Amino acid sequence: MALRELASLEKYLGLKKPNKYSTQGDKKVPVLQNNNGPPLVGQVTIACHLVKEAKRAELLGDGAEGRAVVQQWLEYKVTKLDCCCKEDIKTILKDLNLYLQDKVYLAGNQFTVADTLMYYGIHPLIVDLAIQEKEQYVNVTRWFDHIQHYPGVRHHLPPVVVLRNRIYTGRLH
Amino acid sequence: MTKEDVQGATEEEQQAQSKKALKKQQKEAEKAAKKAEKQAKQAAEQQSTEEDDFAKDRYGVSAMVQSQQKLDRTLVRVQDLTAEKADQLIWLRARVHTSRAKGKQCFLVLRQQQFNVQALVAVGDRASKQMVKFAANITKESIVDVEAAVRKVEQKIESCSQQDVELHIERIFVISQAEARLPLQLEDAVRPDGDGEEEGRATVNQDTKLDNRVIDLRTTTSQAIFRLQSGVCQLFRDTLTQKGFVEIQTPKIISAASEGGANVFTVSYFKTSAYLAQSPQLYKQMCICADFDKVFCVGPVFRAEDSNTHRHLTEFVGLDIEMAFNYHYHEVIDSITDTMVQIFKGLRDNFQTEIQTVNKQFPSEPFKFLEPTLRLEYTEAVAMLHEAGVEMGDEDDLSTPNEKLLGRLVKEKYDTDFYVLDKYPLAVRPFYTMPDPNNPKYSNSYDMFMRGEEILSGAQRIHDAQLLTDRATHHQIDLEKIKAYIDSFRYGAPPHGGGGIGLERVCMLYLGLHNVRQTSMFPRDPKRLTP
């Protein structure tokens, strides 16, 4: 999973030569053999390295605060999202929905690598949502729809249909 | 363990027990003594006061009404108690909804069906202290005859349906006394879902309500629901009669299942067995063959499906329509949809009070419909669902969630809660459905939906004996068993179509309720046969 996400990220970043990854341990933590240094371990570490290699440092956030927010969400992605069980889904979506209420991207007004990886991570959750639930977490779906249509991001994932109109207004049936 | 040991143990136990029993006895004796004392005191009080009770003829428990006398007394209806009747002395029969004594006064809320009025007994020259006490002690739900003066009130009484007046009781007689303990409280049964939790008050769950249906039916909500239901039947009859339909009665005990034998009830019929009709389908069609042209039928319909859902009953009331048409089965659809629209209009115009009453407990948006009724083709509906990201085959039947979702999509796009879905795939319809001449995979059949749930299933029927035989064989139906049915089409049968509506579902969906048991007076489902 993590490897495909990294491959998609590489493509988004426009890196010409795809890297070769191996995995480590039961949880299949991705490992990148670096030509001129020690191997890099872990999805977030590798992702940040790829961003720098592509000379797209702006994707890691603007200023100290922005960078911290990006790191925060990258960490959230690997610790919460990637190993969430069924019971957590609702809490995750609820919290994220609240957080995204007044934001276009996770870091505010700027697209960052956190949006990409969070999109990859949350995709399996969104795919399974019924239309009514998508409407319930309307801020998440708005953000999700925006990211999946963001040029070059989607790659290996199937698109998810998101309705533009609310159909569950009024009382629930 | 030896025998002695056992004995010793039991003796000890007995002793312990007897000690306990002794204590218990003592306590009970004390209680009894106290009770006797109290009773004596009460009796004494009563005796002492009875003599100087000037109003003792003005209240009491009446003798059982055995039609001893014809009283020349007009009983006013609670709903007629308005400011116009102010200062009149009237008689009234009603239930005691609540009573609350407060010093020298006793407030009663008298209820008659969904209407109620505040009444009061106050110590004065018309009522004595004892009378007030008597009034306060009348059990809830007892039926009383009351003579009272109607008085205007300065401040509206918010809790009653008659807000402008109250009654000053001069006489009160109990006609039928209710037992002190009710299986459920009416106030609890009409409390909207969310409210109880916030205030820590009780709500009554569906099963308790149904177990004590007689009491539950007294609630304002139930009263309104079933008045509206009666209205649906009446509007259905009136509209169709006006269109030249004939009402027919069909047998419910039948020899063969009309749509395959899996979901019918079998009853023993002398030496053989019979079935309970799933629909009057075959009979209304036979009436068409017998030149009745346009028929309808209101009666019970049985389904032996073991489905415990919010919208399935094993016995419900079917409103069935069948009519001959000239050239196109859309003539039938138009006739049925127009009937439905007339019903919706009739309800909207004549049953606003009932709708509001139900809305108080079960809020829902007003029912919306278009004129003429929206008609979608099955392929369009499937396209709409595809667009919303639903994966389904072109000729698959609609699953319940998809049905509901489609209802939402249609509501959003066309702003209507009522629509017709036309041209169903032939494979998902019964054998007597006429295939579509342009595409044999589809059929001239249709469903109608209210708030995204199916209420009617109908089609153009095959009126040609040969084609009917072919289709029945295709569905692997034993031709012997439906011989009489097929034979009726051999001697000239007009093209015809029709459909059947579930009365309970129509009421449920019109009012935006969540469970069909709420609109069935004595519901029958796989788990309920009583009351």
Closest CA to A135 of A95, A92, A97: A97
Instruction: Please tell me which of the candidates B411, B451, B514 has its beta carbon nearest to residue A167.
Output: B411
Radius of gyration for the alpha carbons in chain B, expressed in angstroms and rounded: 31
- Residue B37 reports pLDDT greater than 50: yes
Q: What is the number of domains present in chain B?
A: 3
Interchain CB distance below 8 Å, A165 and B404: no
Min CA distance, A162 vs chain B (Å)? 7
Collapse the DSSP code of A23 into the 3-class scheme (helix H, G, I; strand E, B; otherwise coil) and give the result.
strand
What is the H or E stretch that residue B374 is in? strand B374-377
Q: What is the CATH number of the domain that holds B106?
A: 2.40.50.140
B239, B156: one domain: no
Residues paired with B294 in a beta bridge: B323
Chain A residues inside the 8 Å CB shell of B404: 173
Q: Among residues B154, B176, B198, which one ends one of the domains?
A: B176
Place of tokens 């006490």: B133
- How many Å apart are CA B510 and CA B225, to the nearest integer? 10
Domain contains B499: yes
Written as one letter, the residue type at B91 is W
Collapse the DSSP code of B525 into the 3-class scheme (helix H, G, I; strand E, B; otherwise coil) and give the result.
strand
Chain A residues inside the 8 Å CB shell of B389: 131, 160-161
- How many Å apart are CA B488 and CA B290, to the nearest integer? 9
- Residue B9 reports pLDDT greater than 60: no
- Residue B348 reports pLDDT greater than 90: yes
- How many Å apart are CA B463 and CA A131, to the nearest integer? 42
- Residue B197 reports pLDDT greater than 80: no
β-pairing, A40-41 vs B253-254, is: unpaired
> Which is more confident, B34 or B135?
B135
B201, B225: one domain: no
Residue A71 main-chain phi, psi, to 5 deg: -60, -40
B419 backbone φψ class: left, alpha, beta (φ>0; ψ -120 to 50): beta
- Residue B191 reports pLDDT greater than 90: no
B138, B254: one domain: no
B318, B419: one domain: yes
Query: What would the mean pLDDT of B335-350 be, rounded to a whole number?
Result: 96
Interchain CB distance below 8 Å, B408 and A131: yes
Domain contains B9: no
B331, B304: one domain: yes
Range in A95-109, B42-56, B115-129, B132-146 with the lowest mean pLDDT: B42-56
Cis peptide preceding B531, ω within 30 of 0: yes
> Which is more confident, B431 or B255?
B431
Min CA distance, A139 vs chain B (Å)? 18
Q: Give the chain A residue whose CA is nearest to the CA of B404.
A: A173
Interchain CB distance below 8 Å, A171 and B412: no
Model pLDDT, residue A172: 45
> Where would I find the H helices in B1-89?
3-50
Q: Among residues B168, B201, B218, which one ends one of the domains?
A: B218
pLDDT digits (tens, 9 = 90+) for A68-104: 999 999 999 998 888 777 788 889 999 999 999 999 9
- How many Å apart are CA B84 and CA B78, to the nearest integer? 13
- Residue B11 reports pLDDT greater than 80: no
Neighbours of B251 (CB within 10 A): 11
- Residue B141 reports pLDDT greater than 90: yes
- How many Å apart are CA B65 and CA B75, to the nearest integer? 16
B321, B375: one domain: yes
Maximal C-alpha separation, chain B: 99
Domain contains B411: yes
Instruction: Please tell me which of the candidates A131, A166, A171 has its beta carbon nearest to residue B405.
Output: A131
Which residue pairs from B478-486 have beta carbons closer than 8 angstroms and sit at least 24 positions apart in sequence? B481/B255, B481/B256, B482/B256, B482/B282, B485/B256, B485/B282, B485/B285, B485/B286
Interchain CB distance below 8 Å, A171 and B389: no
- Residue B257: Cβ-neighbour burial (10 angstroms; 0-12, 13-18, 19+): buried
Domain contains B390: yes
Domains of chain A as residue ranges with CATH = 2-148 (1.20.1050.10)
Query: Is the sign of the CA dihedral A65, A71, A75, A76 positive or negative?
Result: positive
pLDDT band at B125, cuts 50/70/90?
confident
pLDDT band at B15, cuts 50/70/90?
low
Chain A residues inside the 8 Å CB shell of B411: 167
Interchain CB distance below 8 Å, A131 and B389: yes
- How many Å apart are CA B307 and CA B259, to the nearest integer? 17
Interchain CB distance below 8 Å, B412 and A160: no
- How many Å apart are CA B378 and CA B384, to the nearest integer? 10
* B 437-496 near A (Cβ less than 8 A): 451-452
Model pLDDT, residue B465: 94
Domain contains B146: yes
B403, B461: one domain: yes
Q: Under 8 Å CB-to-CB from B256, ≥6 apart: which residues? A: B275, B481, B482, B485
B476 backbone φψ class: left, alpha, beta (φ>0; ψ -120 to 50): left
Domain contains B46: no
pLDDT band at B26, cuts 50/70/90?
confident
> Which is more confident, B13 or A50?
A50
Interchain CB distance below 8 Å, B389 and A170: no
- Residue B456 reports pLDDT greater than 60: yes
Structural domain containing residue B359 = 221-518
B318, B259: one domain: yes
Chain B residues inside the 8 Å CB shell of A130: 401
Radius of gyration for the alpha carbons in chain A, expressed in angstroms and rounded: 17
pLDDT band at B17, cuts 50/70/90?
low
pLDDT digits (tens, 9 = 90+) for B473-488: 998 888 887 888 899 9
Residue B374 main-chain phi, psi, to 5 deg: -65, 130
> Where would I find the H helices in chain A?
2-13, 43-53, 63-79, 86-99, 113-127, 131-136, 138-148
- Residue B258 reports pLDDT greater than 70: no
Q: Among residues B112, B145, B176, which one ends one of the domains?
A: B176
- How many Å apart are CA B268 and CA A127, to the nearest integer? 52
Model pLDDT, residue A173: 43
Query: B500 near B318, Cβ under 8 Å?
Result: yes
B158, B301: one domain: no
Query: What average pLDDT does the structure give for chain B?
Result: 89
Domain contains B435: yes
Q: Give the chain B residue whose CA is nearest to the CA of A160.
A: B389
- Residue B316 reports pLDDT greater than 80: yes
B328, B437: one domain: yes
pLDDT band at A171, cuts 50/70/90?
very low
- Cα-Cα end-to-end distance for chain A: 37
pLDDT band at B506, cuts 50/70/90?
very high
Q: Give the chain B residue whose CA is nearest to the CA of A172.
A: B364
pLDDT band at B254, cuts 50/70/90?
confident
β-pairing, B75-76 vs B89-102, is: parallel
Interchain CB distance below 8 Å, B363 and A163: no
Torsion of CA B472, B473, B475, B479, to 10 degrees: 60
Min CA distance, B399 vs chain A (Å)? 14
Query: B434 near B494, Cβ under 8 Å?
Result: no
B373, B227: one domain: yes
Q: Angle at Cα B489 formed by Cα B486 and Cα B494, nearest 5°?
A: 145
What is the H or E stretch that residue B174 is in? strand B165-176
Collapse the DSSP code of B135 into the 3-class scheme (helix H, G, I; strand E, B; otherwise coil) and give the result.
helix
B320, B400: one domain: yes
Q: Angle at Cα B39 formed by Cα B34 and Cα B41, nearest 5°?
A: 95
Collapse the DSSP code of B48 into the 3-class scheme (helix H, G, I; strand E, B; otherwise coil) and give the result.
helix
Query: B431 near B471, Cβ under 8 Å?
Result: yes
- How many Å apart are CA A152 and CA A111, to the nearest integer? 13
Query: What average pLDDT does the structure give for chain A?
Result: 89
Domain contains B237: yes
ipTM: 0.77
pLDDT band at A156, cuts 50/70/90?
confident
User: Is B387 an interface residue toward A (CB < 8 Å)?
Assistant: yes
Strand order in the sheet with B374-377: B246-247, B294-302, B315-324, B496-502, B453-460, B445-450, B418-422, B374-377
Catalytic residues of B: 303, 305, 311-312, 454, 457, 505
User: Is B408 an interface residue toward A (CB < 8 Å)?
Assistant: yes
User: Is B384 an interface residue toward A (CB < 8 Å)?
Assistant: no
Query: What would the mean pLDDT of A123-143 be, rounded to a whole number?
Result: 91
Model pLDDT, residue B39: 78
Instruction: Please tell me which of the candidates A160, A167, A171 has its beta carbon nearest to residue B408.
Output: A167
Interchain CB distance below 8 Å, A173 and B365: no
pLDDT digits (tens, 9 = 90+) for B363-422: 999 999 998 999 999 999 999 999 998 889 888 999 999 999 999 999 999 999 999 999
